[in-house]
Amino acid sequence: MTYQRFEDLPVWQTAAELYELTEDLLENERFKATRGFRDQLDRAALSVSNNIAEGFERGTTNELLAFIYIARGSAGEVRSMLVLKERRARKAAWTADLKSLISNLKSLAESCSRQLRAWADSLQNSDIKGQRHLTDKLRQKEEQRKRADEFEKTLLRQLPAWHPKRKEAEEKGLI
C-alpha cells in the first residue's frame, strides 16, 4: 500500500495516540515528576510523530530512514522514562487508572518501535531511492516488477501442493 499523507500511516497514528496519552499522564495530579522529567517526556513523545512526519515529507529514502531511526530512538526514550518512573512507583500512591495509563503508554511506545523497525527494514531492502529520484521511467519499471511478482505468485498458487516449486515458495513465505 502506498500512502500519500503521513497522517494515514498506521505508525504515525500510533505515535499520535502515544503523544495524546502522554499529555493525559502529564495532566494527572497523581503523577509526580520533576519539571525536567515532565518536559523531557513531553518532548520525546512528541518527537516520535514529528520525526515520522518530517521523514515522510523529505523525499529520499535515506532521509526517511534517518528520521525513522530518530523516531524509534524517541519511542525508546519514552519507554525508558516510563519504566524508570514505574520503578519509583513503589513509593508513590498511584491509582489503578494511573498504573493502567502508564502500561498503555509503554505498549504504544513499544508498538511504535516495532512498526518503525519493520518499516526501516523494508526500506533498506528497496531499490527505490525516494520520490525525488523517482522518474516516470523508474515508476513504470517498478510497476512492471510488481505485476511480474504478482503473476509469478499466481502461477505458483496454481501448482499442485506436492510440486517442489510450490513447496519452496510456501517455505519462503512467498505464497
**Shared domain check, 94 and 148:** no
- pLDDT tens-digit readout, 126-137: 766 655 555 677
pTM for the full predicted model: 0.72
Domain limits for position 123: 6-131
pLDDT tens figures, 98-131: 989 999 999 999 999 999 999 999 999 876 665 5
Residue 1 placed within a domain: no
Give the span between the Cα atoms of 160 and 132, in whole angstroms.
Answer: 44
Q: Which of 57-66, 88-97, 164-173 has the lowest mean pLDDT?
A: 88-97
Number of helices (H), then strands (E), in the chain: 6, 0
pLDDT in tens, 3-47: 899 999 999 999 999 999 999 999 998 899 999 999 999 999 999
> Residues 107, 161: one domain?
no
Here the cell at position 35 is 519539571
**Overall number of domains in the chain:** 2
Ordered DSSP codes for 88-128: HGGGS---HHHHHHHHHHHHHHHHHHHHHHHHHHHHHT-S-
